Chains A and B, each alone.
Chain A
Amino acid sequence: MTLARFRPSKGTLALGALSALAFVVAVMRYAFGLRAISNLSDGYPWGFWISFDLLCGVALAAGAFTTASVVYIFDLKRFNPLLRPAILTGFLGYLMVIVALLVDLGRPERIWHLIIFWNPESVMFEVGWCVMLYTAVLALEFSSVVFEKFGWRRLSALHRYVTPALVILGTLLSTLHQSSLGSLFLAAPTKVQPLWFSPWLPVFFFLSAVAVGPAIVIVESFISARVLQRGLETELVGELARAIPLALGAYLILKVFDLTTAGEWGSAFQGSTGALFWLEIIGGVILPLGLFALPSVRRSDARLFGAALLVIGGVVLNRFDVSLIGWARPAETWYFPHWMELAMTAGIVAGGVMVFGLVARYLPLFTPSHAAEPAE
C-alpha cells in the first residue's frame, strides 16, 4: 500500500472539512478570547468542553486500560486481537483530550507550569499529572505496532519484556485518573445537585469507566469491522462484555447505598433533574445490566452494539449531569453551548477518526501477533 494510491473518500473529505473548521475556530479563540467562540461565563466557568471532551473523553478512553488489564493482568491471552485497536482508541482519545484542553485553558502556553509549580492538595494537580503520564504510557504501549511495522526486532523484544509492567502502571494511572475526575467535584459540595454529589464520586467515576471500557471496545470493533470490511470477533467481544454487568452492578449497589445513607431519594422524584436521574439509571445502568447478562445478547453483533451504546449513553449523560446540568447556576445566568464550541469538539473528534483510519491502513493494527505476547 502506498500513499500514491490514496484517494480520499467522501467520508474522509467531510472529516477533513470539520477539522479545518475547528482550526479556524481555534485561531479565533486564540486571537480574540474565549468569549468570541463560546458561551462560557463567570457563572459557568466550565462548559461543554469540560463535560464532553474532558470527562466523557477520558471515560471513553477506558477501553485501553480495561482490555490491557484483561490481557496482561488476568493473563487472558485470547483477547489479544482486541488489544491493539483498543489501545489506539485510548491513545487517540487522550490526545484529543489534550487538544481540547489546549483550547479550553485560559493560558494554554503555560500548561507546562504543572510540572514546576506543585500544589498536591489540588485534585486538578492529580488530573494534570495523570493526563501527562498516562498519555506517555499509552504511547509506549502502542509503540510495539510501529516497531513491528519497521521490523525493529531488538525494540520489539524489549517491548515484550516491559509490557506487563507498563500495563500495570497504565492501569494504576487510569484508576487514579478516572476517579480523580470525579474527585474534582468534591471541592464544590454546594454546587453539584445532591442527586449527583457524593463523597463516593471518585468511585462512581471509576466504576462507570470500567463498565464503559468494554462497551467502547465493542463499538470500535463493530465500526471498524464495517468500515474496513473485516470480520467481527463476535465471540471474543461478547466474552469481554461479560465484565460490563459486574461493573454496572457494583455501580448500582453503591448508588442505592449512597442515596439511602444521604437520604436523598426525595430529590429523585422532583422535577426534570429527577427525570434525568432515572433516565441515566434505568437506561444507562439497569437496562444494559440486564441485556449484557443475557447470552443471546452477547452472541449477536447488533444486540451487543445496541447494549454497548446504552452504556456509553448512560456514562455521557452522567458526566453532563454531574458537571453541567446539575450545576447550581447563579441567578440570571444560563448556559447552552455556542455552535463554535460544538464545532471545535466535532473537529477534534473528526481528526481523531482520520488518524485512526490512517493507522488502520498503514500499521499492523488488527494482525494478532506474537509481538504482543509477553516473554516469560
Chain B
Amino acid sequence: MLIDETRCTGCRACQVACKQWNDLPAETTRNRGTYTNPPALSANTWSLIEFKEIETRGQIGFYFLRRACMHCEHPACASACLVGALHKTAEGPVLYDDHKCIGCRYCMIACPFGIPTFDWNKGLLDQPLIRKCVFCADRVQNGLTPACAKACPSRVILFGGRDELIAEGEARIRQSPGRYVNRIYGKAEAGGTSVLYLSSIPFEQLGLPRLDSAPVTVLSEWVMRYTLPFAAAWGAALTGLALLVRWRNRGKPKRPSSKEAA
C-alpha cells in the first residue's frame, strides 16, 4: 500500500475502521497535550495516526504519520521468531500464528519499526498474544481492500501491487516535484517494505527510522548460517586438544591435588 502523507487531513477514519473490522476495544486515555490518541500502538490499536507539529521553512505545520506494520519484504520479526510464528505470505501480509508463539517478545526487539505489541494485561487463562496489523488479510483474500484504505476519505492510502505502487509514487513525485521529498520511503528501507510512504518533509522528521537498504537481520542470519559448521569445527578442536594434552602427559605420574580439602 502507498501512503501519501501530503493528502492526509488527520481525520483518523482509518484508525477507527481498523478497530471496527478487527474488533479491537477502545482504550481509556488521558489528555497528554497532543492529538495523538491513544499515545502509541498497542495490542488493541494496530494502526495509529500520529500528529506532529513540525517547523519547516519558518512555519509550524501539522503533519500526520500513519503508523502500522510495514509488512516488510524481509521481515525482521519473522527472522527473529524462534518458533516461526511470523511469516511473510506470497500476497504481501506478514502474518502471525496464534498457536505457535511462546511470548518471548524477541520479534518486538528485532522489528526496526517498533511495531509488534503484546497483551501485557492478560493472565495465562486469557491467552496473551503478540498483536499487530494483519493487512486485513481476510478482506484482501476476498477481493476487498484493507479497512483503512477503504475508509480513507482523502484517498491517502492506496492499495495495490508493490511494483505498480512504486511506479505510481514515482509518477506523483515527477508530476509535482515541489510537493514531495524525492524518494519513496520503503522502496529500499530494511530490504524493502510492502507499505510505502510519500511525504513533503524528510521521513526522519516525520518519525520514520533511518534505515539501510539491507534487512536489519543480515548479521544475525549470517551468524546462524555458520553456527553449525562452527560448532562442528570447535567440537573437533576441543576433542583434538584434549587428546593432544593427554598424549603429552602420558607416562607422567599423576600429580596429587596440590592440597587436600578439609
- Interface segment among A231-239, A254-262, A340-348: the answer is A231-239
| Cβ contacts under 8 Å, B259 to chain A | 81, 233, 235-236
Select from chain B the residue with minimum beta-carbon distance to A44.
Answer: B108
| Cβ contacts under 8 Å, B60 to chain A | none
B179 within 8 A of A: no
Select from chain B the residue with minimum beta-carbon distance to A41.
Answer: B120
- Interface segment among B12-20, B75-83, B133-141, B151-159: the answer is B75-83
| Contact across chains for A81 and B224 when beta carbons are under 8 A apart | no
* Least Cβ–Cβ distance between B206 and chain A, in angstroms: 13
A246 within 8 A of B: no
Tell me the complex Cα distance, A114–B100, Å: 9
| Cβ contacts under 8 Å, A123 to chain B | 80, 220, 223-224
Residue contacts A-B, CB under 8 angstroms, 19 given: A35-B121, A45-B108, A106-B103, A107-B124, A108-B103, A113-B102, A114-B102, A119-B84, A123-B223, A124-B81, A124-B82, A168-B235, A183-B224, A187-B80, A187-B110, A187-B216, A189-B216, A191-B109, A235-B259
Q: Per-residue 0/1 for A87-123: is the Cβ within 8 Å of any B Cβ (1 yes, 0 no)?
A: 0000000000000000001111111011001111111
| Cβ contacts under 8 Å, B246 to chain A | 75, 376
Select from chain B the residue with minimum beta-carbon distance to A42.
Answer: B117
Q: Per-residue 0/1 for A20-36: is the Cβ within 8 Å of any B Cβ (1 yes, 0 no)?
A: 00000000011111111
| B contact face: mostly helix, strand, loop, or mixed | loop
Q: Per-residue 0/1 for A323-358: is the Cβ within 8 Å of any B Cβ (1 yes, 0 no)?
A: 000000010110000000000000000000000000
| Cβ contacts under 8 Å, A40 to chain B | 120
| Contact across chains for A42 and B108 when beta carbons are under 8 A apart | yes
Q: A45-B108, A189-B219 are in contact. Are A109 and B124 (CB under 8 A)?
A: yes
> Which A-B residue pairs are the 9 nearest by beta carbons?
A106-B103, A124-B82, A45-B108, A117-B83, A119-B84, A35-B120, A107-B103, A45-B105, A186-B220
Q: Which of B82, B101, B103, B249 has the most CB of A within 10 A?
A: B82
* Least Cβ–Cβ distance between B97 and chain A, in angstroms: 9
* Least Cβ–Cβ distance between B70 and chain A, in angstroms: 14
| Contact across chains for A368 and B257 when beta carbons are under 8 A apart | yes
A43 within 8 A of B: yes
Tell me the complex Cα distance, A81–B255, Å: 13
| Contact across chains for A73 and B123 when beta carbons are under 8 A apart | no
Tell me the complex Cα distance, A156–B105, Å: 43
| Cβ contacts under 8 Å, A180 to chain B | 227
Q: Per-residue 0/1 for A109-141: is the Cβ within 8 Å of any B Cβ (1 yes, 0 no)?
A: 111011001111111111110000000000000
A80 within 8 A of B: yes
| Cβ contacts under 8 Å, B125 to chain A | 31
A19 within 8 A of B: no
Select from chain B the residue with minimum beta-carbon distance to A190.
Answer: B112
| Contact across chains for A42 and B118 when beta carbons are under 8 A apart | yes
| Contact across chains for B83 and A119 when beta carbons are under 8 A apart | yes
* Least Cβ–Cβ distance between A238 and chain B, in angstroms: 11
Tell me the complex Cα distance, A81–B83, Å: 41
Q: A74-B245, A107-B102, A188-B112 are in contact. List 18 more A-B contacts (CB 8 A).
A: A32-B121, A32-B123, A34-B120, A42-B118, A43-B40, A45-B105, A45-B118, A72-B242, A113-B83, A114-B102, A119-B82, A121-B79, A172-B231, A172-B238, A175-B234, A330-B40, A333-B40, A366-B261
B51 within 8 A of A: no
* Least Cβ–Cβ distance between B39 and chain A, in angstroms: 7
A63 within 8 A of B: no
* Least Cβ–Cβ distance between A111 and chain B, in angstroms: 6
Select from chain A the residue with minimum beta-carbon distance to B40.
Answer: A42
| Contact across chains for B219 and A33 when beta carbons are under 8 A apart | no
B114 within 8 A of A: yes
* Least Cβ–Cβ distance between A115 and chain B, in angstroms: 10
Q: Which of B76, B221, B227 has the most CB of A within 10 A?
A: B227
* Least Cβ–Cβ distance between A175 and chain B, in angstroms: 6
| Cβ contacts under 8 Å, B128 to chain A | 33-34, 106-107
| Cβ contacts under 8 Å, A367 to chain B | 261
